Amino acid sequence: MGAGFGGLAAAKALARAPVAVTVLDRTNHYLFQPLLYQVATGVLSPADIAVPTRFLLRRQRNVTVLLGDVTSIDLEKRLVSADDGRLALPFDYLIVATGARHSYFGNDDWEALAPGLKTLDDARQIRRRFLLALEEAEKVDDPEERRSLLTFVIVGGGPTGVELAGILPTLARKGFRRDFKRFDSAEVRVILLEGGPRLLPTFDEKLSRRACADLQELGVQCRTGAKVTRVTSDGVHIGDEMIRARTIFWAAGNAASPLIRMMGVETDRAGRAVVGLDLAVPGRPNVFVIGDAAAAEMSEPHVKGPQAADRRPQYVPGLAAAATQMGEHAARMIVNTLAGRPRTPFRYRDKGTMAVIGRGRAVADLRGLRLTGPVAFFTWLFVHLLYLAGFRNRLSVMVEWAYAYFTYRPGARLITGEDREAEEAWQARHGGSARQQAR
C-alpha cells in the first residue's frame, strides 16, 4: 500500500519471491518528492518528477497496480477496502507505506491559510498561490496592499523550507524582472521562520550557519527562534509581533497519514506506527509499516548527529533513502518468513542529507563529509539526476534545469480557469477564512 519510495522498493524487492503483489495507491504515479519544491515554483512540470507506477512495474509479472483510495484496514480479517468498499483486497502480508502529511500542531485551520508541500497537488497549490499573488500585485493600486501581496512567509527551517525560501527570491527578482510593469520585482520579500535555535536542525551546526548566510545573501530574511503563534488571512503572528503577508507556506512538522490510526496500532505523537526492529507491528508479524508512516527505532545507536549526546532513543529519519531501505527490508522479511528463515533487525545505512539553496549553492552532510557552495550544489545535481526514475524524465529535467539556470526563468508557470476554481474549492474545503475572498 502506497507507491512512494518505500512501497515501490518493497514491490521491486519481491520480484522473485513466490508471492502475488498488489500495489495500491491514491495516485497513479511514483513521485520524486525531493524535487517537489521545483514544481511548486514552476521550474519543473509535474510530469518531470513523476512516473506512472504501472510503467515502472510493467515488467514485473507478479505485480498488479491499482488506483484506489483506502477506506478501511482490518488487520484481524486481513482485508484492505478501497473506493468506499467497491474494491476489497484480502492479504496474507501487508506493507503499509502511506507516508506523511504536514502537521499544524493542532491548528488544522491554518492549513487553508498556509499550505504545505507533500504531493503534486500541494505543489500546484503553492505554484498557484505564488503566481496569483504576483498577478494580484500587478492589479492593485494601494502600496500597503501590494507590499502584503509581495511578502512570502515560509514557516519551518528544515530542508523543504530552506529550498523553497532559496528559490523564490531568485525567481521573483531575476526570472520575472521584466514581466510585471506595475511593480518592481525587487519589492518581493521572502521571510523564513524557524521555531528552533537554527535552520536545518538535523544537519551539522556549521552547515546551518552557512545555509543561513547563503540565504541572507540571496535576500531572504532568516529568523530563528521565531515560533508562529497564529496564522490569519492577513499574515503570521510571532507572539506580539505580526508580519503582514498574503501568502504563507508551511514546511514545519510532519504527521503520519490518518490511515495509521485507522489500523488501531500503537502510534507515537506524530501518529506514526510504532514498529519492532524487523519493521513489523508488534503482535502482527504479517503487517509491516515503513517510511514516514513508521516510528522505527535505530537498531544500533548512531554516534554522529546532534542528538547523539542525550540518551533518548534514535529513530530512522524521514528520508527517501531510509524509506527505500525499509521497503527492501520488509520485503526481505516476508521472503525469510516464507522460507522458514528468521527475521533480522533493520539497519539504517546513512547516505547523508542535502539541501539546495537557491541557484548554484547547497549544503550537504554526507557521513561526516560536509560540503557547501557550488561543490555541494553540483553533488546535489548529480545525485538527484542519478536517482530520478526513468530516462525520459532525466533528460527532460536536464533541459528544464539548463534553461532555468541560464535564464533564471521557470518554464512551467501556468494558471488556468481550473486552477482558480481549485483554489476556491480548496478554500471551501478547509473552511477557509478565505485569504483571497476579495478575488
Q: 3-state DSSP call for residue 48?
A: helix
Q: Tell me, yes or no, if 111 is annotated catalytic.
A: no
Q: Which stretch binds a copy of itself (CB under 8 A): 72-80, 211-219, 264-272, 402-410?
A: 402-410
Whichever of 308 and 415 has its CB closer to a copy of itself, that residue is: 415
The verdict on 179 binding a copy of itself (CB under 8 A) reads yes
CB 138 within 8 A of CB 371: no
When computed from its CA atoms, the radius of gyration of the chain, rounded to whole angstroms, is 22
| Min dist. Cβ of residue 116 to a copy of itself (A) | 14
**Binding of a copy of itself at residue 392 (CB under 8 A)?**
yes
- Identify the DSSP state of 17: S
Closer of 123 and 294 to a copy of itself (Cβ): 123
Report CA 123 to chain centroid distance, whole Å.
Answer: 9
- Subset of 204-263 contacting a copy of itself (CB under 8 A): none
Q: CA distances (Å), 247 to each of 116, 157, 174, 181, 236, in order?
A: 12, 17, 20, 21, 10
Q: Are the CB atoms for 93 and 334 separated by under 8 Å?
A: yes
Binding status of residue 413 toward a copy of itself by CB under 8 A: yes
- Residue 181 touching a copy of itself (CB under 8 A): yes
The DSSP result for 106-169, as a single string, is T-GGGGGTS---SSHHHHHHHHHHHHHHHHHHHH---HHHHHHHTEEEEE--SHHHHHHHHHHH
**Which residues are CB-contacts of 248 (< 8 A; sequence separation ≥ 6)?**
113, 114, 152, 153, 154, 155, 231, 235, 236
Site for a copy of itself in 118-137 (CB under 8 A): 119-121, 124, 131-132, 135
Q: Considering only residues 66, 242, 298, 385, which one is a binding residue for a copy of itself as defined by CB under 8 A?
A: 66
Which residue out of 163, 194, 328, 423 is catalytically annotated? 163
Nearer to a copy of itself, 20 or 213 (CB): 20
Answer for which of 3, 50, 126, 231 binds a copy of itself (CB under 8 A) is 50
Number of neighbouring beta carbons within 10 Å of residue 227: 13
The residue (of 44 and 256) whose beta carbon lies closer to a copy of itself is 44
Tell me how far, at minimum, the Cβ of 176 lies from a copy of itself, in Å: 8
Among 12, 46, 242, 385, binds a copy of itself (CB under 8 A): 46
- 105-137 residues labelled b (16+ CB within 10 A) or e (exposed): eeeeebbbbbbbbbbbebbbbbbbbbbbbbebb
Residue with cell 509499516: 289
As a whole number of angstroms, the distance between CA 185 and CA 122 comes to 25
Distances in whole angstroms, Cα of residue 252 to Cα of each of 219, 227, 234: 21, 11, 20
Using CB under 8 A as the binding criterion, the count of chain residues that bind a copy of itself stands at 59
Can you tell me which of 1, 7, 13, 29 binds a copy of itself, judged by CB under 8 A? 29
Angle, nearest 10°, between helix axes 417-429 and 120-139?
110
| Contact call for residue 55 and a copy of itself (CB under 8 A) | yes
H/E run at residue 197: none
> Of 261 and 439, which has the nearer Cβ to a copy of itself?
439
Cβ atoms of residues 358 and 380 within 8 Å? no
Q: Please, what is the minimum distance in Å from the beta carbon of residue 12 to a copy of itself?
A: 16
Would you count residue 178 as binding a copy of itself (CB under 8 A)? yes
Tell me whether residue 375 or residue 425 sits nearer to a copy of itself (CB atom).
425
Residue 274 C-alpha cell reads as: 510504532
Residue closer to a copy of itself, measured from CB, 27 or 307: 27
Of 76-95, binders to a copy of itself (CB under 8 A) are 83, 86-87
Phi then psi dihedrals of residue 52, to 5 deg? -55, 130
Q: Determine if 400 is a binding residue for a copy of itself (CB under 8 A).
A: yes
Please select the residue that binds a copy of itself; options are 72, 78, 145, 180, rule is CB under 8 A: 180
**Judged by CB under 8 A, which of 18, 85, 310, 416 binds a copy of itself?**
416
Q: Does 174 bind a copy of itself (CB under 8 A)?
A: no
- Single out the segment in contact with a copy of itself by CB under 8 A; choices: 73-81, 161-169, 342-350, 413-421: 413-421
147, three cell numbers: 507590499
Least CB distance to a copy of itself at residue 20 (A): 10
Does position 305 interact with a copy of itself (CB under 8 A)? The reply is no
Q: Give the active site residues.
A: 163
Chain contacts with a copy of itself (rule: CB under 8 A) = 26-29, 45-48, 50, 52, 54-55, 58-59, 63-68, 83, 86-87, 119-121, 124, 131-132, 135, 138-139, 178-182, 392-393, 395-396, 399-400, 403, 407, 409, 411-418, 421-422, 425, 438-439
